[in-house]
């Protein structure tokens, strides 16, 4: 947890800081020591999480890593810190951390007598409840995948919450008899589409006679309970048998035609191909890991074989990818962004930096019912010719960042620029994060007010959004422009803050274009969300092996992410559609295979062909 979240507000009283100093004098100076006593650990925890303290300050003061501090906190909560012998050390009482307040548990009276720090379940529950609120609150602040959205802090909070919930469950299991719980567990129905396997448990002495008096039993009712069960990935072998028949009169041999195979002379079904590509590109499991998981179940498939299966799936999906792009170019508004992807460059003996570009059509924020879609393009460099070539036939609004490669599109009079407030805000926040000032705080607050209005009108029809923006947002934007101009007059032109403000003022027309058109968005976060899965995936599969490998990844991402935008499960969709395409699905009916038209409960696509 960062100082920004865990530290208390400025202005801590001198009396509080004096008490902190006294505690440290009691615990002793521990700087530079490699082995910490229990008393010293508790003193460091007070400095890290107590009034007026912060993790960073404790790290610097005691020369200890953040990992050790969080480990000691978990030990203190679970009762693992033992051996307290010095009565001079104050008890590890409840300490409060602001924004919002979080409580660390005090030792139980039973534990204090035995020299152990115990965990009081109510305090642990309060801490867990507080941590559950914090990620949700921070996620509501997120406008995109930017540093100012505190993604790192959210990840740390969620990891801490996982461990605390697991510890609380362990403590409860050890101390509490489930049969004695006064509060019943909440009843949450499991999804209806899951298969059910019934287990019927009859009374120990049978269901015919009463165990007390021997009388006859009659049915009275039943209690039922459902639990979610998990089994390993279930592999099976499908054996296809085609009997042969001969005519007794003319000796003609009659036999059914062989079904289409996913791979000629291959051993993988269409469902297997779909599983491999979705596991890699959606679940971020590299092929070598998939091969290891299959080997653990006694299935010896080489990684290169899995790569061939992924390539075949990509080739079969080519018509779908092309049709998604064609449909996207007919839209009136497109969001675009790009992200770097390492690519092997054997000639130079190292990796080069390629790019994956995302082009997204999603008007649901303006109340549209047209299906959302996204297509991706892999390139070996980041030149403006790539988006220019992709959008040659496009006419409408382009929401993007300030990359100069888009400028030639704007000069054609076919494409109108719509700038991104999230990028402008990010430049101010980067300065605020390192050196907050009253100016950065004021500007961030003003921009935040614009987003609050956007949250309220999201999903409304374009005319309602336009009216709300002109009545409520436009005056705030005008006041913000005045504040920016005033700041520029006071700042040195070479200062970082002046450069950040200039970035926005140069694009002011494009930044304010959303005010007068309810179809437009305030930022380009729709595109940023579309490349988030790629940013996560490249940490696992590391790089594209070649230009062809990058193109294959872009094609598969196009199908998977478009499925997800339309609420379709990608693996079921891909398995069904590639089977249809391999079975010579007519080109005149491509639209029936699009993710927004496909339904899992509709007629089997193979039969429809």
Exposure b/e, 469-488, CB count within 10 A at least 16 = b? beeebeebbeebeeebeebe
Q: What pLDDT was estimated at residue 233?
A: 80
Q: What pLDDT was estimated at residue 543?
A: 62
pLDDT at 345 over 90: no
How far apart are the C-alpha atoms of 221 and 29, rounded to whole Å? Answer: 69
For 312-324, give the DSSP string. Answer: HHHHHTHHHHHHH
SS3 62: helix
Q: What pLDDT was estimated at residue 580?
A: 92
Mean pLDDT of 566-581: 94
pLDDT at 365 over 60: yes
For 210, the token pair is 């009463």
Tens digits of residue pLDDT in 353-362? 889 999 999 9
The pTM (predicted TM-score) of the whole model is: 0.68
How far apart are the C-alpha atoms of 331 and 374, rounded to whole Å? Answer: 12
pLDDT at 378 over 70: yes
Contact 47, 53 (CB under 8 A): yes
Stretch among 155-159, 238-242, 399-403, 484-488 having the lowest mean pLDDT: 155-159
Q: What pLDDT was estimated at residue 276?
A: 94
Percent with pLDDT over 70 in the chain: 72
Q: What pLDDT was estimated at residue 186?
A: 57
Tens digits of residue pLDDT in 164-196? 556 555 555 555 555 555 555 555 688 888 888
How far apart are the C-alpha atoms of 454 and 458, rounded to whole Å? Answer: 6
Q: For 482, what's the count of Cα atoms within 13 Å in the CB-facing half-sphere?
A: 6
- Answer whether the bond into residue 100 is a cis peptide, omega within 30°: yes
Identify which has the larger pLDDT, 109 or 372. Answer: 372
Contact 321, 578 (CB under 8 A): no
Report which secondary-structure segment, H or E, holds 343: strand 333-345
Stretch among 274-278, 391-395, 465-469, 546-550 having the lowest mean pLDDT: 546-550
CA distances from 512 to 81, 359, 474, 515, 523 (A): 57, 22, 9, 6, 11
Q: How many helices (H) and strands (E) does the chain have?
A: 25, 9
DSSP state of 380: S
Find the DSSP H helices in 226-302.
270-281, 287-296
CA distances from 460 to 15, 362, 371, 419, 468 (A): 53, 14, 16, 21, 10
How far apart are the C-alpha atoms of 76 and 120, rounded to whole Å? Answer: 11
pLDDT at 25 over 70: no
| Mean predicted lDDT score pLDDT of the chain | 79
How far apart are the C-alpha atoms of 553 and 542, rounded to whole Å? Answer: 12
Stretch among 330-334, 344-348, 572-576 having the lowest mean pLDDT: 344-348
For 14, the token pair is 């001198």
Burial degree of 196 (CB within 10 A; 0-12, 13-18, 19+): exposed
For 543-587, give the DSSP string. Answer: SBSSHHHHHHHHHHHHHHHHHHHTT--HHHHHHHHHHHHHTT--G
Q: For 456, what's the count of Cα atoms within 13 Å in the CB-facing half-sphere?
A: 13
Q: Averaging pLDDT over each range in 12-16, 220-224, 333-337, which range is the top one? A: 333-337
Contact 57, 66 (CB under 8 A): no
Burial degree of 301 (CB within 10 A; 0-12, 13-18, 19+): middle
Positive/negative CA dihedral, 550, 534, 273, 572: negative
For 524, the token pair is 């380009």
Q: Where are the domains of the chain?
A: 3-175, 272-321+569-608, 323-419+527-549, 421-523
How far apart are the C-alpha atoms of 291 and 276, rounded to whole Å? Answer: 10
Q: What are phi and psi of 495, to 5 degrees?
A: -75, 155
Residue 410 C-alpha from the chain's centroid: 33
Burial degree of 69 (CB within 10 A; 0-12, 13-18, 19+): buried
Q: What are phi and psi of 93, to 5 degrees?
A: -80, 175
Residue 436's CB is within 10 A of a number of other CB atoms, namely 13
pLDDT at 446 over 70: yes
Per CATH, the number for 323-419+527-549 is 3.30.420
Tens digits of residue pLDDT in 45-64? 888 777 667 777 777 777 78
pLDDT at 208 over 50: yes
pLDDT at 447 over 80: yes
Mean pLDDT of 306-329: 94
How many Å from the N-terminal Cα to the C-terminal Cα in the chain? Answer: 55
Tens digits of residue pLDDT in 98-127? 333 333 333 333 333 443 333 344 445 555
Q: What are phi and psi of 255, to 5 degrees?
A: -155, 145
SS3 537: helix
Band the pLDDT of 11: cuts 50, 70, 90. very low
| Residue linked to tokens 């003061």 | 61
pLDDT at 93 over 50: no
Residues 6+ apart with CB under 8 A from 390: 357, 359, 377
Tens digits of residue pLDDT in 255-266? 999 898 888 888
Q: What is the 3-state secondary structure (H, E, C) of 415-466?
A: EEEECCHHHHHHHHHHHHHHCCCHHHHHHHHHHHHHHHHHHHHCCCCHHHHH
What radius of gyration, in Å, describes the C-alpha atoms of the chain?
Answer: 31
How far apart are the C-alpha atoms of 586 and 584, rounded to whole Å? Answer: 6
Relative to beta strand 333-345, strand 415-418 is: unpaired
């Amino acid at each position: 947890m960062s100082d920004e979240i865990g530290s208390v507000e400025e202005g801590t009283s001198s009396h509080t800081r004096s008490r902190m100093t006294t505690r440290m004098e009691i615990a002793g100076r521990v700087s530079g020591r490699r082995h910490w006593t229990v008393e010293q650990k508790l003193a460091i925890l007070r400095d890290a999480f107590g009034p007026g303290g912060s993790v960073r300050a404790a790290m610097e003061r005691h020369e200890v890593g953040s990992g050790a501090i969080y480990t000691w906190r978990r030990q203190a909560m679970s009762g693992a810190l033992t051996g307290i012998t010095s009565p001079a050390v104050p008890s590890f009482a409840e300490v409060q951390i602001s924004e919002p307040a979080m409580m660390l548990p005090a030792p139980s009276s039973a534990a204090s007598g035995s020299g152990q720090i115990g965990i009081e379940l109510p305090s642990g529950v309060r801490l867990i409840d507080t941590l559950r609120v914090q990620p949700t609150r921070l996620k509501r602040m997120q406008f995109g995948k930017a540093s100012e959205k505190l993604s790192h802090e959210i990840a740390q909070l969620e990891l801490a919450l996982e461990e605390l919930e697991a510890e609380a469950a362990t403590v409860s299991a050890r101390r509490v008899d489930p049969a004695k719980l006064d509060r019943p567990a909440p009843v949450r129905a499991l999804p209806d589409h899951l298969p059910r396997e019934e287990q019927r448990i009859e009374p120990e002495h049978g269901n015919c006679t009463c165990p007390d008096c021997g009388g006859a039993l009659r049915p009275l009712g039943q209690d039922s309970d459902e639990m979610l069960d998990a089994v390993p990935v279930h592999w099976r072998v499908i054996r296809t048998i085609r009997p042969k028949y001969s005519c007794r009169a003319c000796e003609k041999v009659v036999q059914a035609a062989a079904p289409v195979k996913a791979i000629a002379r291959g051993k993988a079904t269409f469902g297997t191909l779909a599983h491999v590509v979705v596991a890699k590109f959606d679940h971020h499991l590299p092929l070598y890991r998939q091969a290891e998981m299959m080997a653990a179940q006694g299935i010896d498939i080489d990684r290169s074989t899995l790569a061939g299966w992924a390539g075949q799936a990509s080739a079969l999906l080519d018509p779908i990818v092309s049709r998604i792009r064609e449909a996207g170019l007919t839209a009136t508004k497109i969001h675009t962004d790009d992200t770097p992807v390492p690519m092997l460059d054997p000639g130079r003996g190292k990796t080069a930096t390629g790019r994956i570009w995302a082009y997204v059509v999603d008007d649901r924020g303006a109340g549209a019912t047209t299906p959302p879609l996204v297509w991706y393009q892999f390139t070996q460099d980041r030149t403006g010719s790539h988006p220019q070539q992709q959008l040659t036939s496009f006419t409408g609004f382009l929401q993007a960042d300030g990359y100069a490669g888009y400028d030639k599109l704007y000069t054609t009079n076919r494409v109108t620029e719509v700038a991104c407030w999230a990028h402008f805000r990010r430049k101010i926040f980067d300065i605020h994060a390192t050196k907050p000032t009253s100016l950065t705080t004021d500007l961030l607050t003003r921009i935040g007010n614009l987003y609050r209005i956007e949250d309220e009108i999201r999903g409304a029809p374009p005319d309602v959004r336009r009216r709300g923006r002109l009545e409520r947002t436009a005056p705030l934007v005008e006041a913000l422009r005045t504040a920016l101009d005033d700041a520029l007059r006071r700042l040195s032109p070479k200062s970082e803050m002046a450069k950040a403000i200039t970035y926005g003022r140069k694009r002011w027309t494009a930044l304010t274009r959303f005010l007068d058109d309810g179809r437009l968005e305030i930022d380009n976060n729709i595109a940023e969300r579309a490349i988030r899965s790629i940013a996560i995936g490249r940490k696992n599969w590391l790089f594209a092996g070649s230009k062809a490998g990058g193109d294959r990844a872009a094609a598969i991402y196009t199908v998977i992410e478009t499925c997800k935008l339309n609420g379709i499960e990608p693996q079921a969709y891909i398995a069904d559609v590639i089977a249809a395409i391999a079975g010579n699905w007519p080109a005149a009916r491509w639209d029936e295979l699009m993710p927004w038209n496909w339904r899992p409960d509709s007629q089997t696509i193979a039969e429809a062909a």
